Amino acid sequence: MEFDFLGEENKVVYVVEIKWRNKPASYRDVANFVDKVKKAGIDAVKLYFISKSGFTKQADELMKMEGVMDISNEFNQ
């Protein structure tokens, strides 16, 4: 199982997915990321997603439901 970034601090695991392409990240992209984390069995996790071209409306809604943070603006300047 592969993650773009995986780190741990104070017993909290941080997992980051990065999509650096010229189209918005889709619902399926976000769902695959969340499923991958769940299958890995990682507890006490904080999920972050970076997308060069933003997210579809459906992807954004799923991120809110699953607690995935969009930190794209930190890198798209």
What digits encode the pLDDT tens for the residues 8-64?
A: 999 999 999 999 999 999 999 999 999 999 999 988 799 999 999 999 999 999 999
Position 69 scores a pLDDT of 96
pTM of this prediction?
0.90
Paired tokens of 6: 């995986």
In this prediction, residue 77 carries a pLDDT of 56
Give the full edge-to-edge strand order of the sheet including 12-19.
5-9, 12-19, 45-51, 68-70
Q: Which residues pair with 8 in a beta bridge?
A: 13
Catalogue all structural domains in the chain, each as residue range(s) with its CATH number.
5-74 (3.40.1350.10)
